[in-house]
């Protein structure tokens, strides 16, 4: 997409008039006199998510323990039901996705199940730009197997500190690699990796490969089954608006069904056997086998309503608008903030651009505080990144215009100078 030269608020309003998703904005609780640009960290509450949470509370109120099989959304099969509804967002078969655990817990399950070092294949391949929690989990499993992480965790280097090159990743897929764990989208720069190519190259070398989809699912459509990805995991509180601490999701390719879960628990049982209370696990015959414990029903419930919205809006439509808005945002940043020493640290090619824009500045922490004082909620990532995420379901083009104008005013008036250039406890 070519850079759009939008120079007036009237044109932003025109984009809003022709926005096919604009009706969904009314579904969300948006604070008055505020512009929320942090949906890539925590999505806003929708009225439907609130409704389904309250309905689940009412099921508890009305049915007590019978809520496991009765009520609006019976709890016993809720993780499987939502997995089926989640599957189209990642291009998976209905029984390949389960809503369970959390990002890191699900990664631990994947590692415990699929990291099986043999012979020279003892190393795990990741990258140096990935989210730290993934690295912590990988290191812990290497140590459990008696390996030193400094030797057996291979982290692909970035050439510029912002992006990864697929060629560099593939070059590290040696005969010593047992497993590859990579992000679908880099959390700082917003770069989308070529999942299809990386999967093909890993499989050519006999290596299993999986992806952390936290920063893409709900903003970027995937085709995990078609691409033959082995496994993936993601949170549901960012683009999917499942609420703080929402239960995560896990994808396991059907080729691996029947592989014993490395971390076994009774909710991984086949449903008709679960309450037999036998001391020999009979695993489910689908992704549900990789559940561990009882689902956190009240942390799952908002996702019921949220996924209804995604089904109506369509992930391809969401992606189309997201791309248009991020390109629009970058064109405005270039137009309005020239001379203020900002640098756009996100890819410009559509195929490599995720759902947020990474704006770099040496005073980033102070600028974020000034934005908040002006009613705009950004996201800060150390040491110098302001992440801005125009969310297709509830951000308007006029919002984007106003964010950039506010940034320009903050810089012109040097409003940021009254703040310390250091992050808050929660950045």
Q: Which residues are annotated as a binding site for pyridoxal 5'-phosphate?
A: 103-104, 131-134, 212, 215, 237, 266, 294
Question: What are the residues whose beta carbons fall under 8 Å from the beta carbon of 278, sequence distance 6 or more?
Answer: none
Distance CA 316, CA 313 (A): 9
Report whether 196 contacts 227 (CB < 8 A): yes
As beta bridge partners, residue 249 has 99, 234
Q: Which residues are annotated as a binding site?
A: 103-104, 131-134, 212, 215, 237, 266, 294
Q: Cα angle at 29 between 23 and 31, to 5 degrees? A: 115
Report the candidate in 46, 8, 6 with the shortest Cα–Cα distance to residue 240: 46
Distance CA 396, CA 62 (A): 40
Report whether 288 contacts 87 (CB < 8 A): no
One DSSP character per residue, 95-156 reads GGEEE-S-HHHHHHHHHHHH---BTTB-EEEEETTS-HHHHHHHHHHHHHTT--HHHHEEEE
Tokens of 101: 């655990």
Distance CA 347, CA 209 (A): 24
Tokens of 248: 């995560």
Beta 208-212 vs 231-234: how paired, if at all? Answer: parallel
In Å, how far from its chain's centre is CA 425?
22
Helix (H) or strand (E) holding 388: strand 385-388
């Amino acid at each position: 997409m070519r850079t759009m030269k939008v120079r007036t608020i009237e044109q932003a309003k025109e984009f809003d008039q022709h926005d096919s998703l604009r009706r969904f904005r009314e579904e969300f609780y948006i604070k008055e006199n505020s512009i929320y640009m942090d949906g890539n960290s925590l999505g806003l509450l929708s009225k439907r998510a609130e409704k389904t949470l309250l309905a689940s509370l009412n099921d508890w109120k009305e049915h007590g323990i019978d809520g496991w099989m009765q009520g609006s959304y019976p709890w016993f099969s809720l993780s499987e039901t939502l997995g089926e509804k989640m599957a189209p967002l990642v291009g998976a078969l209905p029984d390949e996705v389960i809503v369970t655990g959390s990002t890191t817990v699900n990664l631990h399950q994947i590692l415990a199940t699929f990291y099986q070092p043999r012979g020279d294949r003892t190393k795990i391949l990741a990258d140096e730009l990935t989210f730290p929690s993934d690295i912590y989990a990988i290191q812990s499993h290497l140590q459990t197997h008696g390996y030193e992480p400094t030797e057996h965790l291979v982290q692909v280097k970035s050439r510029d500190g912002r992006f990864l090159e697929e060629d560099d990743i593939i070059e590290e897929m040696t005969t010593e690699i047992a497993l590859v764990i990579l992000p679908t989208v880099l959390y700082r720069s917003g770069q989308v990796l070529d999942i299809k190519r990386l999967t093909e190259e890993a499989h050519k070398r006999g290596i299993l490969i999986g992806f952390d989809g936290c920063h893409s699912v709900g903003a970027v459509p995937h085709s995990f089954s078609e691409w033959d990805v082995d496994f993936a995991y993601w949170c549901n509180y960012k683009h999917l608006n499942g609420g703080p601490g929402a239960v995560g999701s896990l994808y396991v390719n059907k080729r691996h069904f029947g592989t014993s879960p490395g971390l076994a628990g009774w909710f991984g049982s086949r449903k008709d056997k679960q309450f037999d209370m036998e001391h020999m696990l009979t695993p489910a015959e689908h992704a549900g086998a990789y559940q561990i414990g009882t689902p956190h029903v009240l942390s799952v419930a908002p996702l019921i309503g949220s996924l209804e919205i995604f089904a109506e809006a369509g992930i391809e439509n969401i992606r189309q608008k997201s791309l248009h808005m991020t390109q629009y945002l970058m064109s405005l940043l270039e137009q309005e903030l020239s001379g203020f020493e900002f640098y756009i640290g996100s890819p410009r090619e559509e195929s490599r651009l995720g759902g947020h824009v990474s704006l770099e500045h040496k005073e980033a922490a102070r600028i974020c505080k000034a934005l908040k004082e002006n009613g705009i909620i950004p996201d800060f990532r150390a040491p110098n990144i302001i992440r801005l995420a125009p969310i297709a379901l509830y951000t308007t083009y006029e919002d984007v215009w106003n964010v950039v104008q506010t940034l320009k005013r903050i810089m012109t008036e040097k409003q940021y100078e009254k703040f310390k250039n250091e992050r808050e406890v929660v950045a």
